[in-house]
Structure 1
Amino acid sequence: MKMIFALCLSVLAAKNLVAQTLPKQTVKGVITDKSTHFPLPGAAVSIPALGKGAATNEKGEFRLADVPVGRHNIQVNMMGYEPVMLQMVEVNAGKETVLEIPLTETVITLKGAEVTVKRGEGPVSPLALASARQLNIEEGMRYAGTRNDPARMAQNFAGVSGANDGRNDIIIRGNSPAGVLWRAEGVDIPNPNHFSTFGATGGPVTILNTNTLRTSSFLTGAFPADYGNALAGAFDLRLRNGNKDRYEMLAQVGFNGFEAAVEGPIGKPGGASFLVDYRYSLIAAVHALGLSVGTGATVPKYQDLTMKINLPTKRAGTFGVFAMGGLSNIHFIPGEDSTDLYNSGKYEVLTTSNTGVAGLTHSFNFSPKTYGRAFAAISAAESKMDNFENKDEIRGKRRMDLDYSLIRTSFGYRLDHKFNARNQLSVGASGEKMQLDMRNRRIKDGDDDLSEMVNASNGAWLGKGWMNWQHRAGNDFTFNAGVYGQYFGLNDGFVAEPRLNMKYDLSKKQSLTLGLGLHSQLQQLEVYYNETGGSLTNKDLAPTRAMHAVLGYDQLLGERLRFKAETYYQHIYDAPVERAPSSFSLLNYGADFGFPDKPNLFNNGTGRNYGLELTLEKFLHKGFYFLFTQSLFDSKYQGSDKTWRNTAFNAQYVTNFLIGREWTVKPGFSVGADSKVSVAGGQWYTPFNESATVEKGYVVYQEDKAYSLRNDMYFRWDLKFSFTWELGRTTQKFFIDLQNLTNRKNIYTRTIDTETGVVKQVNQIGLFPNVNYQFTF
């Protein structure tokens, strides 16, 4: 701590090197209709505190030059549309501030009525009214403990549980993290994490890059008809466009690796643009230089790339090309001191995982009231794993090998038509071809030789379609009614699901929301191709289904203080369970790294989740902000034995309190501090049958006591200090994030020695200082 204090003092002393003249930058962007994305000419954009303003041109674009660096409130007004205020927008010297601001058309305009300026804090998705909020990337990057990971940023929201230092799984309202739909640029994508091994839904390091993302939507239940094949929620990510007017660059080094990015115009400025960002594992780079990084022979190696090209045309709309992907591998060397979050230390494990998606989009405004968007994409997820016994530092018998590849080719189209300010129709359809190539061999419990569990090279089609009617009875009441349907070609399965959500403003500061709907999710494709005796015993499994009901209340307690409460109930049915009475259910899938390769499953399991979520949020003002969330819930399930049990994700309570402060020490030099405390209920687990484990030589559990014991509560305190220098046309940002400041020993899992029956506890990460430096110019 003395070293950290000295570092802070030295950084503060460096402020004397900052020029007295405050650097200036350009703020620009585009104003569009929220429903049809049509550019709005003639909108007034201003920074009231500076007396600066501009009107949008025929393309809906605006430009405010010579804006001093710092934070500014930006207001947008246009006749016939609800005014919007973007508060505390950050302006840096090293990069132009580019904004995309959608406006909502007013239904009723009364002469002499008081104009209420909305904050623009709602979700990006125009159809999401309940259980949805936006993830502002700049805001999320201020939070302590997030490691610049969007998934970990979302764990601060009500209803979301993380409580895992080694993986960034998003557990929503007691559901499996496998129930979350990931989407980027309107395309459903695979698990976007490095080391996303077969059977895991999260990862220790994300492929997603916050420097390439713009404000995105995060939905936690009862989502509208344009989201499907998901039970828990949806994370709808959007990549930002590169700067179309000038070249800008970024260099960064931190926990996520060495990073370099470049963006700028293609051809003449003001038209097409590109953005490319590449990262390489910091630990792997340091290790390659022959330096010790404290991980011994086990070195995680990974790299990722994100890119986007934006190509607007005069008559044919806008084309977009995007891609993101990552390569990762790790080699676990067994030893007495090698037991950690990812390996028991008894076996030698070689793991490789590669993930990527690339797509082409085309958007076109047929008229000011009609908008269409098409996409075509291909994504791939690959995992390879080899597991060997290791005795006397010599590789022994192979215990398991896995070669897994899933390629998805998809295409789709969406059409939005606004009849008038009150009524809008949205429809969409997509198709997806899934190709699975998988060979999985392992030594079964009690056997000595490898057995082939799956040897599949098969494909399946998935077709999806949806329709939604939005009606606004007035400026204070919005109603969505829709239906989602999908067809699964492997077993001719079809589902149709009605969706309804609405929002009613009780006053200028209070509103009620309601969400109702049926939702379903297919099983993982490898479940359907589990072979027993040469036959696919799981081929006819139907999707797991759920009924969602959500009621919410939102109130502004002041201009910048917001309170929100939501209560919900989820009834889950048709969950796959075993035919013989047991405690097994696929509702617990995603709790471990392994995959439950169970044959002869059928849709007879049930579950239920219900709870209450509270949020109290102070938006950034005069350098101060805080966020408090409290989630109280219960998550239970029934296997084929018809006994109600806790799910693996039933933490029952999650509390997050985050508070931060920013100071402008001197023109061009600012300091920030952010602190976060997280408390969550302990994980439920199934105890070992120690005597049976020793007798049989493999791990045996007390299945009649499935998820009956509980770990101690999870507690973590993070503290983050950040510093920003604005020097000429450059910006430098530095932060040190002290994660798990108290070095608490939160439990991760338990292992058992099959020879002695000794049970050991594996703890999560202790005190972890995460340092990051960024330079933009």
Structure 2
Amino acid sequence: MPHSLIAQNVAQVSGYVRDVKTNEPLIGATVLLEGTELGAVTDVNGYFTIRNATPATYNVKASFVGYQSQTKFNIVLKSGGIPDLNFELQESVEQLEGVTVRANPFRKTEDTPLSVQKLSPEEIATYPGGNNDIAKVVQSLPGVSGSVGGFRNDVIIRGGAPNENVYYLDGIEIPNINHFSTQGSAGGPVGLLNVSFFEGVTLSSSAFPSQYDNVLSGVLQFDQRNGNNREYQTNIRVSSSEAAVTTEGPLFKSKNEEQSNTSFIASVRRSYLQLLFQAIDLPFLPDYWDYQYKLSHKFDNYNELIFTGVGSLDNISINVPDEFSPDQQATLDQIPIIDQWSTTAGLSWKNRFKDNSGFMTTALSTNILNNRFQQFDDVAEQEGLVFNNDSQEQEIKFRYNLTKFLNEWTVNTGFIVQQAIYSNKSERIDSARGFSYSNSLNFTRYGIHTQASRKFFKERLGVSAGFRMDGNTLMEGGNAIYKTFSPRFSVSYQLDEARKWSVNASIGRYYKIPPYTILGFADSTGNLLNKNTKYIQSDHLVAGIEYLLTPSSRISIEGFYKKYEDYPVSVVDSVSLANLGGGFSVLGNENVESAGLGRTFGIEFLYQRKFTKNFYAILAYTFYKSEFTGFNQEQYLPSTWDNRNLITFTGGYKFGNNWEVSARVRYLGQTPLAPVDEEATLASYPTIIRNYSRQGDLLLDPFNQTDLRIDKKWNFPKWTFNVFLEFQNVFVQQLPSEPNYGLLRDDNGNVITPRQLVKIEELDNSSLLPSLGIVIDF
């Protein structure tokens, strides 16, 4: 290649440096590419640009007088399509003579000093085995696992059920982050959020700030970046199962302006998984679209308006295999037909006070899930209806949050008012579990919250205390908001003057309203059967210690205890709904009572190393127990998520010439299940009935899988080409799966009479799964 062409393949990086509390631009801050002499100084808007860098991976450091320096690790500079790099600096503590105070690269806040994990954009984009699926990426975080067999994106945090988490996109709550989501829960097989949008992902698995409602196990915040406000950029991504296009740029930018006050970023993604499934003659064909967008407008230095949203179109259709096999036929019998769409859209206004005394955020949003779920005796011909669920749930939310800086205190307060609209036409044909009703709900939910935080003793001691209360106009006693008074308190202390050692602890009570599928369940005359259910209550006690090994690595040990009360218990099956939500049916569409208790507790070890010397890694081991009761509150049974041992490792090494190898290792202990009630299942087939009185009698083998990814980037003038090759299950481990049952058939697939239920012989699923993908940025 001619030298003149190579010389054009240079990279640059731009972004902003602001005060972390006030969001005030820091003028004259210095930004450097570590290991080089390249750098820049911010202008009056806090904006910087570093030019003429060699395309490679860098750590980038921002410094400003009177503030703690901040380093962004693992920043890939390319010749095209580089998003802004934004810093938020914190005012520095008083320096002590002869002591170097180490800035913590794993920044936490006083209100959430524990169990906070963050992933950078590069860690998200190159996650091995994730196929650019943000929901799978989250499962690499400490204490987080998926459902049995690892084929779904259920987020199980420290033994809590999948529907115990909440998800926020730039402060806008989104109820579903997966395609083909389980109504009443949030899991599904494929994530619907685009990884190209994110500046980072933050998981809080304890010590939740009071502004977040309806959470029992985890808060996941997806921070979207603003679109480029100077020039247009496009990202094209093609993988083994889908293709996506993301575009961004300025709006209303005049020729003499360097940047616009208005920018956008938008994407659309299309699957072709259904074509692959049809080619290999599988009995079902999943087909999906999704879209995501963000529009930002900056009125002035103190006011910004953001309009953002995400949505999906999902369909599972039937494909009758050409040749009969017992396992394929059992899958065909039991697979539902799903026609589902979802959308979330929100408008938020952030007003920063001119005296830097605080800011307020006002948001109006709506989310809709439309779910048609059907099962048939003969699914190929769609004859013999077994179960029909035709429902829609919608929320219209108004949130207001005020943050004030009062001397050394930071006070956050606000409220939420939301309208919940739910309708369902549902029918199950079953002599023991059958029902038929058509019903709709329209009621108001509301909540208030306050939290105050402060640091003492030269910022070595941090304390935070707060509360929230929630109510609604539907449930019996729902307006007695004092019953959901949920206090919380957290404390953190840096033990040594160098700020290497810190201890953290929190205690709090949290509440969650039952899913609308429970609240809307009715008898044939339309009478609501579950109006007397209660908010689910969970008390958390967490404590831990952390040590900064180096400026880029840490180790921590954390113990946790969660106690549950008033968990819904199925009247028919006498099982806590804490055990459910990991399948493809509908969670909670049945009669329940708030009678269940539960507890999860354990200890977690974490080692994390940010990108230094070409290597980064997260290694975590969690030992925990998760158990719940049915109606007998004296009998605790292991939950479906009680795997006891969870090991996760994610790491990568970057070689020269833009080569990278990364790996993910997951180990999940035995999974307790309730065995199938064969007599009841035969009577209700294709519905599978379990004997939940024997929950835990069936133990699936441990799940153990290693995934490998190889990336190679080529930089050309103004554009970048990236190829990645992934290998899932590189050690060809046998992956556990639930026992499968079907009707006894002859060699031609005809049912033998009288009908008999048989256990299908377990298939070998220990294959290596390779996949190839490309990413183009320009």
TM-score, normalised via structure 1 length: 0.90
Alpha-carbon shift at residue 618 of structure 1 (Å) = 2.6
Counterpart pick for 2:73 among 57, 65, 87:
87
* 1:64-88 deviation line (CA, Å, top 9, x unaligned): 2223221222222223322212233
Structure 1: 5+ residue stretches without partners: 1-14
Alignment of 1:635-674 (within 5 A): 635-642=626-633, 643-665=635-657, 670-674=658-662
Partners in 2 of 1:696 and 1:114 — Cα distance? Answer: 72
Matched residue SS, 1:129: coil
Matched residue SS, 1:736: strand
Counterpart pick for 1:198 among 176, 183, 201:
183
Contact 1:251 1:261 in 2 (8 A): yes
Alpha-carbon shift at residue 172 of structure 1 (Å) = 0.4
* 1:388-446 deviation line (CA, Å, top 9, x unaligned): 2229x6443222222111111111111111123x3111112111111101111121145
Q: Write the letter of the residue equivalent to 2:396.
A: T
Match of 1:733 in 2: 722
Partners in 2 of 1:410 and 1:586 — Cα distance? Answer: 27
Partners in 1 of 2:648 and 2:21 — Cα distance? Answer: 34
Alignment of 1:459-608 (within 5 A): 459-473=442-456, 474-491=458-475, 492-493=477-478, 494=481, 495-507=484-496, 508-532=499-523, 534=525, 535-577=527-569, 583-595=574-586, 597=588, 600-608=591-599
Alpha-carbon shift at residue 274 of structure 1 (Å) = 0.9
Contact 1:18 1:727 in 2 (8 A): no
Match of 1:770 in 2: 771
**1:758 is aligned to 2:758:** yes
Partners in 2 of 1:740 and 1:139 — Cα distance? Answer: 20
Alpha-carbon shift at residue 32 of structure 1 (Å) = 2.0
Q: Write the letter of the residue equivalent to 1:708.
A: D
Alpha-carbon shift at residue 602 of structure 1 (Å) = 2.7
Partners in 2 of 1:85 and 1:515 — Cα distance? Answer: 28
| Residue 356 to residue 542, structure 1, CA distance change in 2 (3 Å) | same
Partners in 2 of 1:351 and 1:692 — Cα distance? Answer: 25
Paired residues, number = 747
**1:436 is aligned to 2:428:** no
Partners in 2 of 1:338 and 1:361 — Cα distance? Answer: 54
Matched residue SS, 1:526: helix
Matched residue SS, 1:577: strand
| Residue 696 to residue 376, structure 1, CA distance change in 2 (3 Å) | closer
Match of 2:349 in 1: 362
Q: Write the letter of the residue equivalent to 1:458.
A: L
Partners in 1 of 2:65 and 2:301 — Cα distance? Answer: 27
Alpha-carbon shift at residue 111 of structure 1 (Å) = 6.8
Contact 1:341 1:748 in 2 (8 A): no
Partners in 1 of 2:280 and 2:516 — Cα distance? Answer: 39
| Residue 707 to residue 236, structure 1, CA distance change in 2 (3 Å) | same
* 1:312-371 deviation line (CA, Å, top 9, x unaligned): 013761111111111110113355758879972225742111111111111111122211
Q: Write the letter of the residue equivalent to 1:329.
A: N
Contact 1:22 1:69 in 2 (8 A): no
Partners in 2 of 1:435 and 1:253 — Cα distance? Answer: 38
**1:267 is aligned to 2:252:** yes
Contact 2:74 2:122 in 1 (8 A): no
Partners in 2 of 1:446 and 1:566 — Cα distance? Answer: 46
Q: Write the letter of the residue equivalent to 1:425.
A: V
**1:141 is aligned to 2:131:** no
| Residue 551 to residue 339, structure 1, CA distance change in 2 (3 Å) | farther
Alpha-carbon shift at residue 101 of structure 1 (Å) = 1.3
| Residue 139 to residue 348, structure 1, CA distance change in 2 (3 Å) | closer
Partners in 2 of 1:39 and 1:319 — Cα distance? Answer: 18
Q: Write the letter of the residue equivalent to 2:737.
A: Y
Contact 2:29 2:62 in 1 (8 A): yes
Counterpart pick for 1:746 among 732, 735, 744:
735
Partners in 1 of 2:542 and 2:500 — Cα distance? Answer: 20
Partners in 1 of 2:264 and 2:766 — Cα distance? Answer: 38
Matched residue SS, 1:227: coil
Alpha-carbon shift at residue 599 of structure 1 (Å) = 5.2
Q: Which deviates more, 735-744 or 591-600?
A: 591-600
Partners in 1 of 2:727 and 2:301 — Cα distance? Answer: 52
**1:458 is aligned to 2:441:** yes
Q: Which deviates more, 607-616 or 128-137?
A: 128-137
Contact 1:303 1:326 in 2 (8 A): yes
Contact 2:105 2:551 in 1 (8 A): no
Q: Write the letter of the residue equivalent to 1:440.
A: S
Alignment of 1:164-243 (within 5 A): 164-198=149-183, 201-243=186-228
Contact 1:629 1:656 in 2 (8 A): yes
* 1:200-240 deviation line (CA, Å, top 9, x unaligned): 53112111010011113211123221222111111011211
Match of 1:159 in 2: 143
* 1:719-742 deviation line (CA, Å, top 9, x unaligned): 111111111211111111111123
Match of 2:751 in 1: none
CA RMSD of superposed structures (Å):
2.7
* 1:30-63 deviation line (CA, Å, top 9, x unaligned): 1222223233323222234322333323322222
Match of 2:279 in 1: 293
Q: Write the letter of the residue equivalent to 1:137.
A: P
Structure 2: 5+ residue stretches without partners: 744-754
Partners in 2 of 1:417 and 1:552 — Cα distance? Answer: 29
**1:676 is aligned to 2:676:** no
Q: Write the letter of the residue equivalent to 1:324.
A: V
Q: Write the letter of the residue equivalent to 2:547.
A: Q
Matched residue SS, 1:401: strand
Partners in 1 of 2:62 and 2:329 — Cα distance? Answer: 50
Matched residue SS, 1:151: helix
Contact 1:279 1:305 in 2 (8 A): yes
Alpha-carbon shift at residue 244 of structure 1 (Å) = 0.5
Q: Which deviates more, 344-353 or 83-92?
A: 344-353
* 1:723-767 deviation line (CA, Å, top 9, x unaligned): 111112111111111111233332332232363221226666843
Partners in 2 of 1:343 and 1:222 — Cα distance? Answer: 44
TM-score, normalised via structure 2 length: 0.90
Partners in 1 of 2:603 and 2:640 — Cα distance? Answer: 19
Match of 1:4 in 2: none
Identity, in percent, stands at 22
**1:407 is aligned to 2:394:** yes
Matched residue SS, 1:519: strand
Partners in 1 of 2:27 and 2:63 — Cα distance? Answer: 11
Counterpart pick for 1:702 among 662, 666, 691:
691
Matched residue SS, 2:485: strand
Q: Write the letter of the residue equivalent to 1:776.
A: D
Alpha-carbon shift at residue 97 of structure 1 (Å) = 4.1
| Residue 270 to residue 720, structure 1, CA distance change in 2 (3 Å) | same
Contact 2:517 2:587 in 1 (8 A): no
Alpha-carbon shift at residue 378 of structure 1 (Å) = 1.1
Matched residue SS, 2:631: coil
Match of 1:77 in 2: 63
Contact 1:182 1:236 in 2 (8 A): yes
Q: Write the letter of the residue equivalent to 1:773.
A: I
* 1:448-483 deviation line (CA, Å, top 9, x unaligned): xxx544422111211122111111102222111111
Contact 2:12 2:50 in 1 (8 A): yes
Matched residue SS, 2:137: helix
Contact 1:35 1:126 in 2 (8 A): no
Q: Which deviates more, 94-103 or 591-600?
A: 591-600
Q: Write the letter of the residue equivalent to 1:275.
A: I
